[in-house]
């Protein structure tokens, strides 16, 4: 029942908003739906944390991994949702109401498709939902209706659709391997896990490669990442926050589900090797583009490719710390990147440019925005006291334990390169003297207040790893078949 | 007529359409190739439904016929006449080079599908590599072509081929999934159509190479 509630909140909100006639009405429904979704997902996570392993209702099913994802989606959804109201008031104050209404309608639809993807047991339905995320966001990417926005949106739709079609090919192959054993229910993930040891390993290997390329496209793994910097930099800030913060994680969620099946069928070495290759390639490409980046939204987007690579490395390294590190890194990246994209919206509204060169003295010109941006960047660069430092530490510790040193050493070197590249750009944005004609003050105040929560959570995850959190991660690990 | 032969013949026809898409240069003809290919897919679904006693596949055949033979081709034909561009511009690779690559892809498909065909006892198994070759050729076409419309057709043929593989290898995926996929594809095509118009308006061309502002 609670799963139906969880899904129907954003679905209903989306439908209601599309019928609204007043702006305040649309904003009200949007805000209350965003908060209610977060509360409901919190209840789901609490139930599962307190011992109920699985909540199931025919095609819908939530275990610890689903609850983890739903919590991230709705949390970032709420933070970005609150900001969206302020952002849209300032940015599209004069644009006609139907456009604003379309924005909120698609926002909620986007949240709905992501929640459906992580709470269904049927891998085919999950595919439909993940393709749905692309369809819900494509107009949002082109929301500003510019030449570059159009280019980004077309590329995004084309590359994601082709990529995800390959994931469907992989899904069909898995279904083929399973259907000979169990018939029609072969697309149910629970049924698949149960019979994974009896699946034809050669078919599973082929299927996993298709899945990795397909969902890897959605997760932003190089070399299938080419749509990402365009789409994430062209979309309005609240949408970029959701796309970079959580949509990439939904791609990983699908990969983790299939990896669990593949590892039982053909042993963990196969998926792990491929994940490490794609991970290192993503890190390398991202580092190269971060060094010479001139646009701060694109810089944040390439940094997402970098962190996608780190998560893939963690999953590839495996072992207890590799998987826990990867999951934690997904959470940490969601918290820091969503916050930074939100703040990038405020920076854009203030300076009216996306060029790094055009931003000077952010800490003076917009003190709250600047301070929060600084915290987010420190977290994103993997510095203590924030969570990304911890999760990267866990991942590379696993790397040295389980793999030959070449992989973790290369990974760390590339992260250092990316670090140096970003630091230079950010430094020049934050410090210095703002140009004279800019009046001082933050463009938006209350809408960015909630990012304080992101900072607190990031610091919490960086300084401690409480038993309660650890128990929850242990439950997630049990779901993906990791012996504790 | 035996089931196996019929399935084989249809798979062959299906792949032929993928090849024809590569050589034809008129956009309207390319759309027709896609419609014919979808027709072949629909017939195969009906054949599998009849011989394999999977009655729900008749409804799948009907939906394919409506969406992919009638609705999507007419949407695309309308787009072709509206934007007033009849011919596809030169692809990155010319027709003969492209044909060579596609022939190679067929060989690759036979190798790649060996684990599936060798263990498959269904009478339709022989057609699987041909359908899978369609997947690879569809992928190649989307990468090789520069016109937005032809890229869309390449994507649609890729999608068709995956359905073909599913039909031949396991008599199709569960109904709810197929319907969900049809819905997604239909919406994707409708959105892409809007984009084709906007690209034409903004860039005065549907050559995707014109769009190159976003780099680095």
Residues A107-129: tens digit of each pLDDT: 999 999 999 999 999 999 999 99
What is the percent of chain A with per-residue pLDDT over 70, rounded to a whole number?
A: 99
Q: Each residue of A3-15: pLDDT tens digit? A: 999 999 999 999 9
**Residues of A in Cβ contact (< 8 Å) with B203:** 147
- pLDDT truncated to tens, each residue of chain B (216 aa)? 788 999 999 999 999 999 998 888 788 899 999 999 999 999 999 999 999 888 889 999 999 999 999 999 999 998 888 877 666 666 677 778 888 999 999 999 999 998 888 887 788 888 999 999 999 999 998 888 777 888 889 999 999 999 999 999 988 888 888 888 888 888 988 888 888 888 887 777 767 767 766 766
Which chain B residue's Cα is nearest to A299?
Answer: B216
* Tokens matching residue B13: 């026809």
Closest in B183, B188, B199 to A150, CB measured: B199
Q: pLDDT digit string (tens) for A129-174?
A: 999 999 999 999 998 888 888 889 999 999 999 999 999 999 999 9
Q: What is the C-alpha separation between A271 and A170, in angstroms, rounded?
A: 14
Give the pLDDT score at B158.
Answer: 93
SS3 assignment, position B26: strand
Which pair of structure tokens corresponds to residue A7?
């899904």
Q: In the predicted model, what is the mean pLDDT of residues A174-201?
A: 88
Which pLDDT belongs to residue B88?
61
User: What is the structure's pLDDT at A4?
Assistant: 94
- B148/A187 CB distance under 8 A: no
Residue A112 preceded by cis peptide, ω within 30: no
What is the pLDDT at residue A285? 94
pTM score: 0.94
pLDDT on residue A444: 85
Which residues of chain A make contact with B214, given a CB cutoff of 8 A? 148, 151-152, 155, 229-230, 234
Does A440 or A336 have the greater pLDDT score?
A336
**Which chain A residues are closer than 8 Å to B202 by Cβ?**
147, 150
Pairing of the two strands A60-62 and A55-57: antiparallel
Give CA–CA dist B59/B46, Å, rounded: 9
| pLDDT on residue B145 | 77
Contacts A165 to B, Cβ<8 Å? 155, 158-159, 162
Beta bridge partners of A188: A122
Interface A-B: count of C-beta contacts within 8 A: 123
Closest to A256 in 3D by CA, of A269, A272, A240, A278: A272
Q: Residue B87 has what pLDDT?
A: 66
Q: Residue B172: name the closest of B65, B47, B71 by CA.
A: B47
What pLDDT does A132 receive? 94
Task: Label residue B107 exposed, middle or buried (CB < 10 Å: 0-12, 13-18, 19+).
Answer: exposed
Cβ within 8 Å, pair B188-A135: yes
* Contact (CB, 8 A) for B174 and B194: no
Contact residues, chain A, for B116 at CB < 8 Å: 173, 176, 203, 206
Task: Flag if A138 and B177 touch (Cβ within 8 Å).
Answer: no
**Preferred mutation among B52, B173, B197 to probe A, highest tally of A CBs within 10 A:** B173
Q: Is A181 exposed, middle or buried (0-12, 13-18, 19+ CB in 10 A)?
A: middle
Q: Are B191 and B184 in contact (CB under 8 A)?
A: no
- The residue among B195, B205, B209 with the most chain A CBs within 10 A of its CB, best to mutate, is B195
Give the ranges where A352-385 is alpha helix by DSSP (H): 362-365, 367-380
Which residue, among A168, A230, A285, would best test binding to B if mutated, counting the most B CBs under 10 Å from its CB?
A168
B119 and A187 in contact by Cβ < 8 A? no
Q: Which of residues 363-422 of A touch B (CB under 8 A)?
A: none
The answer on pLDDT for A437 being more than 90 is no
How is residue A283 written in tokens?
Answer: 């890190």
Q: Residue A52: how many CB atoms within 10 A of its CB?
A: 12
Q: What is the mean pLDDT of residues A67-85?
A: 96
For residues A325-350, average pLDDT: 95
Give the Cα-Cα-Cα angle B200, B206, B210 (nearest 5 degrees). 100
Which pLDDT score, from 0 to 100, does residue B89 have?
A: 62
Helix (H), strand (E) counts: chain B: 9, 0
Whether A151 sits inside 8 A of B151 (CB atoms) is: no
* d(CA A49, nearest CA chain B) in Å: 31
Asked whether the beta carbons of residue A127 and residue B159 sit closer than 8 angstroms, the reply is: no
Q: Give B-chain residues touching A153 at CB under 8 angstroms.
A: 195
Q: What angle do CA A254, A260, A262 make, to 5 degrees?
A: 100
User: Does the pLDDT at position A293 exceed 90?
Assistant: no
SS3 content of chain B, % helix, strand, coil (to 5): 80, 0, 20
| N-terminal to C-terminal alpha carbon distance within chain A | 31
How many other CB atoms sit within 10 Å of the CB of residue B212?
A: 8
User: What value does the mean pLDDT of chain A take?
Assistant: 92
- Whether the ipTM is more than 0.90: the answer is yes
Question: Closest Cα partner for B72 from B48, B39, B46, B47?
Answer: B39
């Amino acid at each position: 029942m609670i799963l139906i509630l969880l899904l129907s909140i954003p679905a209903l909100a989306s439908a209601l908003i599309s019928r609204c006639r007043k702006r305040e009405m649309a904003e009200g429904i949007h805000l209350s739906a965003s908060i209610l979704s977060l509360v409901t997902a919190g209840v789901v996570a609490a139930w599962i944390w307190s011992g109920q392993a699985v909540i199931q209702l025919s095609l819908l099913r939530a275990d610890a991994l689903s609850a983890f994802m739903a919590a991230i989606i709705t949390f970032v959804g709420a933070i970005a949702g609150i900001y969206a109201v302020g952002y849209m008031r300032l940015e599209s104050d004069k644009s006609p109401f139907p456009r604003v209404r379309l924005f909120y309608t698609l926002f909620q639809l986007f949240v709905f498709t992501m929640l459906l993807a992580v709470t269904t047991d049927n891998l085919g339905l999950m595919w439909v939902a993940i393709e749905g995320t692309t369809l819900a966001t494509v107009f949002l990417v082109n929301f500003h209706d510019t030449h570059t926005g159009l280019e980004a949106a077309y590329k995004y739709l084309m590359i994601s659709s082709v990529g995800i079609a390959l994931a469907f090919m992989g899904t069909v192959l898995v279904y083929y391997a399973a259907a000979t054993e169990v018939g029609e229910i072969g697309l149910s993930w629970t049924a698949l896990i149960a019979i994974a040891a009896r699946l034809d390993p050669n078919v599973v290997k082929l299927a996993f490669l298709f899945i990795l390329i397909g969902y890897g496209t959605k997760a932003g793994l190089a070399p299938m990442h080419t749509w990402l910097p365009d789409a994430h930099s062209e979309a309005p800030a609240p949408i970029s926050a959701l796309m970079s913060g959580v949509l990439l994680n939904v791609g990983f969620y699908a990969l983790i589900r299939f990896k669990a099946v593949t590892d039982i069928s053909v042993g963990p070495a196969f998926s792990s090797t491929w994940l490490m290759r794609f991970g290192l390639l993503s890190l390398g490409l991202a580092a190269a583009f971060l060094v010479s980046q001139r646009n701060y939204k694109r810089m944040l987007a390439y940094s997402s490719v970098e962190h996608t690579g780190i998560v893939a490395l963690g999953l590839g390294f495996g072992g207890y710390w590799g998987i826990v590190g990867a999951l934690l890194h997904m959470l940490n990246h969601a918290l820091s990147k969503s916050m930074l994209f939100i703040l990038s919206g405020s920076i854009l509204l203030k300076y009216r440019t996306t060029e790094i060169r055009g931003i000077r003295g952010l800490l003076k010109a917009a003190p709250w925005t600047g301070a929060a941006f600084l915290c987010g960047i420190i977290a994103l660069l993997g510095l203590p006291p924030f969570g990304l430092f911890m999760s990267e530490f866990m991942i590379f510790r696993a790397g040295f334990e389980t793999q030959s040193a070449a992989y973790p050493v290369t990974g760390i070197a590339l992260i250092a390169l990316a670090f140096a590249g970003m630091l230079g750009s950010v430094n020049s944005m934050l410090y210095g003297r703002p140009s004279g004609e800019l009046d001082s003050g933050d463009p938006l105040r209350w809408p960015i207040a909630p990012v304080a929560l992101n900072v607190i959570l990031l610091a919490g995850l960086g300084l401690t790893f409480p038993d309660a959190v650890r128990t929850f991660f242990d439950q997630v690990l049990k779901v993906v078949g990791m012996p504790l | 007529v035996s089931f196996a032969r019929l399935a084989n013949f249809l798979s062959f026809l299906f792949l032929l359409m993928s090849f024809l898409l590569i050589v034809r240069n008129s956009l309207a003809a390319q759309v027709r190739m896609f419609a014919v290919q979808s027709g072949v897919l629909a017939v195969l679904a009906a054949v599998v439904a009849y011989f394999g006693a999977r009655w729900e596949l008749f409804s799948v055949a009907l939906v394919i016929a409506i969406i992919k033979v009638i609705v999507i081709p007419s949407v695309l034909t309308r787009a072709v006449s509206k934007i007033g561009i009849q011919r596809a511009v030169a692809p990155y690779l010319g027709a003969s080079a492209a044909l060579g690559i596609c022939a190679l892809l067929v060989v690759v498909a036979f190798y790649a599908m060996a684990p599936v065909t060798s263990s498959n006892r269904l009478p339709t198994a022989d057609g699987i590599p041909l359908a899978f070759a369609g997947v690879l050729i569809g992928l190649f076409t989307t990468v090789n072509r520069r016109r937005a419309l032809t890229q869309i057709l390449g994507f649609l043929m890729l999608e068709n081929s995956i359905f073909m593989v599913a039909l031949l290898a396991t008599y199709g995926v569960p109904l709810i999934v197929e319907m969900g996929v049809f819905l997604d594809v239909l919406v994707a095509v409708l959105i892409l159509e809007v984009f084709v118009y906007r690209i034409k308006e903004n860039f005065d061309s549907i050559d995707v190479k014109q769009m190159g502002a976003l780099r680095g």
